[in-house]
Structure 1
Amino acid sequence: MIEVIMLFDGLSSPVKNVTERTSNPFGLRPPFDRTGPDERTAVFGYGDANADFYLIGDHPGVHGGTSTGVPFTGTESGDAIQDIAREVGFASGPEDRPDLENLFCSYIHMCCLPAGETPSEEDYADLERYFDAELRAINAHILLPVGERATDHVLREYTTQRDRLDLDMARLHAREIRGRGFLVVPIREPTEWEDTDREAIVARLEEILGRDYRQTKGVATTVG
């Protein structure tokens, strides 16, 4: 077992990366709760804590998990992304709690909100340090942001490319973008996919998996 000890801003004590844990492996706690007493507070990061691929969604209201506690479950968009993960070999087992290998999933806004509500800019800002801490603890090589909000955040925070790129998800979809220590491959919101979008992201992931992608991190550090 590999153990990594980190201090997270806003937490009172060190937390451990216990790799056997698939859900919330670092014991993060959301800073606020606006849901009812019998409703889920948050959809925490989930998957292989030693993964090289990191799938990044928006919030539970868009990409799912309010009923299962697992990102990318229970919504049209979430199910489409999970289907891709299964096709390229990242996911197996039950749909509501899949077994993930070499893939970790989380949201830039992990907290659940009452039905019909969406996070405010302040809400996103409140949770940014939690998302960033978990992403850096996982230490993945390939970042896969899903949708415009997640892609915008990842390009701004983890690459030097945002000012050079239009946030046109149809053009960014399945494209490789060098970042500061990462390779970023944006994924267009599945509800907006057109004829070849699904095939394009499957082909891109299979191509990356077929090469020595673990060298990406060093290359991206010098190029991004």
Structure 2
Amino acid sequence: MKNVTERTSNPFGLRPPFDRSDPGDRTAVFGYGDANADFHVVGDFPGVHGGETTGVPFTETEDGVAIQEVLRETGFASGPRDEPVLENCFCSYVHMCSLPDGQAPTEADYADLERFFDAELRAINAHILLPVGARATDHVLREYTTQRHRFELDMASLHARDVRGRGFMVVPIQEPVEWVDGDREAIVSKLEAILTSDYRQTKGVATTVG
């Protein structure tokens, strides 16, 4: 059993390269949860998936709260909504820094933070990557699988499917605000199925698509 660290927030002491946050907002929403986890939920940035005030990924916003509720239903999360206790699950963003006035990151902003995200993802070394939304899914499929060229970035089609990665199983999640009937149940069922399988054998083993 690996034991990376017992720290819950920013377990590796990352220091973002800039602070452009609004007054009262956190400089960054750092990775949060069980750093020894087998499941890593990857969001986009704080403005869409939440945490600018709480400092915790997948809080505050509609999308963030919906993802957290899925984690609660599948047994990964418990405790307070703004500071959940995560077990066997780690959450982080491709772009961790808060930006002013509801701004979205530019391509240069994403590039500035890519090395921080990559270092943390590899340190966590989870078995299952769960990117939420098109940006996170595109990044994870490009950087951690050889499969990106096989897919249109159609999140409705990719939602709750498993994709072969380079040592990971990737299960994309469509943005909750875009879910239609059955989408919530689909990702809950997929996670429950993975949990009851010998998912630790996915490391370095080809998984299926569909």
Aligned residue for 2:187, secondary structure, equals helix
Query: Aligned match of 1:105 in 91, 114, 118?
Result: 91
Per-residue CA deviation, residues 36-55 of structure 1 (Å, 9 max, x unaligned), is 45431000000000000000
Determine the C-alpha separation between the residues in 1 that align with 2:21 and 2:43. Answer: 20
Matches within 5 A, 1:74-223: 74-220=60-206
Q: Name the SS of the counterpart of 2:136 in structure 1.
A: helix
- Describe the superposition over 1:70-100 as per-residue Cα deviations: whole angstroms up to 9, x where unpaired: 0000000000000000000000000000000
- Where 2:90 maps in the other structure, the secondary structure is strand
Residues in 1 aligned to 2:150 and 2:51: alpha-carbon distance in whole angstroms: 34
Contact persistence 2:22–2:101 (CA under 8 A) = no
How big is each residue's C-alpha offset from its partner over 1:163-208, in whole Å with a ceiling of 9 and x where there is no partner? 1111000000000000111000000000000000000000000000
Deviation at 1:35, TM superposition (A): 1.8
The 5-angstrom pairing of residues 48-63 of structure 1 reads 48-63=34-49
SS in 1 for 2:92: strand
d(CA) in 2 for partners of 1:69, 1:36: 13
1:23 aligns with 2:26: no
CA offset at residue 22 of structure 1?
Answer: 0.3
Which residue in 1 is equivalent to 2:58? Answer: 72
Unaligned runs of 5+ in 1: 4-16
TM-score by length of 1: 0.90
- 1:106 is paired with a residue whose SS is strand
Answer 1 or 2: higher relative contact order, Cα 8 Å, separation at least 6. 2
CA drift at 1:216: 0.4
Extract unaligned runs of 5+ from structure 2: none
Which residue matches 1:46? 32
Amino acid at match of 1:91: A
Q: 1:38 to 1:116 in 2, by over 3 A?
A: closer
- Say how many residue pairs are matched: 208
Give the secondary-structure state (helix, strand or coil) at the position aligned to 2:116.
helix
1:116 offset after TM fit, Å? 2.0
